[in-house]
Amino acid sequence: MRCGRPLRGPPDLVFTCVPCRRRRLYFSQARAVGIYDGTLRDAVHALKFRGRAALSEPLGLLMAAGAQADPVARACDVIVPVPLHPHRQAARGFNQSELLARKIATALGRPLDVQVLRRTRDTPEQVGLPRADRRRNVRAAFAAATLMAERILLVDDVLSTGFTAASCAQALRAAGASEVAVLALARAVLD
């Protein structure tokens, strides 16, 4: 119910998984449009690592449809993408989460705020890091400007352990956000 992690069992199975019961996530819910596998994984890699920014158009529209179907996403006040460190964004040429978030903001008719959340240190890529290292990697890696008790929809490309989303949500909540929900393009299924 909280992290959006797919569970084994019947399709209508809904409950809070053990990791969500054991740790504070700072976000109210996390959802993804699809599973990080196959064609969707290939598309994410092409967007992020091969500079295919044009893929943000169809992928962003896919996410926008998911946001329009979700009551929590529709109730948000502002859309906030997970920020890249300025060095990484300069090297990549764009922030993939921002490109995706623009489509969602347009579809929901909500403002996009790319200034409220920033990455305070240049962290290594999460991909390939062991679970414990992922948590340490993004701990206190984000800061947020003061908010006016807004409901935030945080947008990211891939949700795996949820540590990046939780760290972003923690910064946004500390800055005054009343709620932070997460919408990702793809959800990694970790065993």
**Considering only CA atoms, which of 3, 35, 57 is closest in space to residue 185?**
35
* Model pLDDT for residues 44-78, shown as the tens digit of each residue: 999 999 999 999 999 999 999 999 999 999 999 99
CB-CB neighbours of 23 under 10 Å: 13
Strand partners, 112: 79
In terms of Cβ atoms closer than 10 Å to its own Cβ (0-12, 13-18, 19+), residue 149 is: exposed
Does domain 26-187 fall into CATH 3.40.50? yes
Instruction: Enter the pTM of the model.
Output: 0.87
Spans of all domains in the chain: 26-187
**In the chain, where does DSSP find H-type helix?**
18-22, 38-49, 56-69, 71-74, 86-92, 96-108, 131-138, 163-174
Q: How far apart are CA 191 and CA 66, in angstroms?
A: 25
* Model pLDDT for residues 96-147, shown as the tens digit of each residue: 999 999 999 999 999 999 999 998 887 767 666 766 676 666 677 788 998 7
Distance of CA 181 to the CA centre of its chain: 9
Q: Is the confidence at residue 41, as pLDDT, over 70?
A: yes
**Considering only CA atoms, which of 87, 155, 72 is closest in space to residue 117?**
155
What distance, in Å, lies between the first and last C-alpha atoms of the chain?
A: 18
